[in-house]
Structure 1
Amino acid sequence: MDHAVALVQAYLQINGYFTVAEYPIIESTGKHHFKTATDLDILAFRFPGAGRIVTGKKGAQTVFLPDPLLGVSGDKADMLIGEIKEGKAELNRNARNPNVLRTVLARFGCCSIEHVDSVVEQLIRKGKTTTHNDHHIRLMAFGSVATGNHSYSTITTGHIVQFIERYLDEHWEVLRTTQFKHPALGLFMVLKKAREKIHPSGTLS
């Protein structure tokens, strides 16, 4: 998995999304011939009211709230179709291709075949839409630099790094003994544990 994709996937999972990374879109090029039209970097789905109970000091429990920058509507199912760049946060042409979006939405059951064309049209034009069954669907770009005014939302990878570091700091008492298998979260854990072993002078404890 691409490093930037792994970083964004970890961020979305912390915020309550189920994710599929680097999802291939297959198209027919003729009789018995097919090719991969594109890979969508990240697809993410969050159920309405999703949250995580976090146990803190002395067993106290709080409900973890998602990053406000994500603009999550707590009472609606939320699906993100995301493009991830190491440079500018922007969608490429394939991420706004009507055929690609139609395939994804029909495949994941976010809207019926008879409604998918109108949903795709509004999604391309506004960067977001709500389906007939009240699912919220949004286009989102991730990258190191936020660029210009777009119809879709953007989040920088710098913000994501800060968010994950803050999340680990706030819940370190619980998380420090956890073994994360996810490559990005696992790396953050290793770095934080390593820093704990270094004195302010820079020498190892």
Structure 2
Amino acid sequence: TSFIWTNYLSKVNPDWKSKVGEGTTVSWPTGTGGKGNDGVAAFVQRLPGAIGYVEWAYAKQNHMVYTAMKNESGAVVQPATETFKAAAAGADWKKSFYQILTNEPGKDAWPVVGATFVLLHTAQDKPEQGKETLKFFQWAFKNGGSAADNLDYISLPPSVVTEIESQWKEKVKDASGKPVAP
């Protein structure tokens, strides 16, 4: 969460970028930090006038007050499934699956979105295990959308899932060079 937030601040504020920067830990110019969502939330709830940042799922599930933000297009947007999906849709996934979804283009895009990554070796020394792993992710892509929604997360855009599955077939191989993908 700290990386995503400080990455966004570094993109929109040159002073922040040069003086504080981005990272999982930074030297905050003022204030007291909390550890994790629980720690930040505890400080915000205990200190009158305090502000902080936590992930959306945590804020929503704990009925925390949140704010609208101005996005890269200049529109003021609320955090919501639709604005998170708009940010994911605006990313250039063809360039790379490694996407930091902060300040993405689009009038409906929430400016502070993060993606979770799963890394997989392209050279599989245990191809049957690799194949089973890919089967699990195929299942998750096809059936996990409602679970993601229930947890206040979003699924990848369908076009990205198609591209990921294509990359599996092209790049994930056993020692003889044979594709492992189901």
TM-score, shorter chain, exceeding 0.5: no
More helix by share: 2
More strand by share: 1
Question: When the two structures are superposed, what TM-score results if normalisation uses the length of structure 2?
Answer: 0.26
Question: When the two structures are superposed, what TM-score results if normalisation uses the length of structure 1?
Answer: 0.24
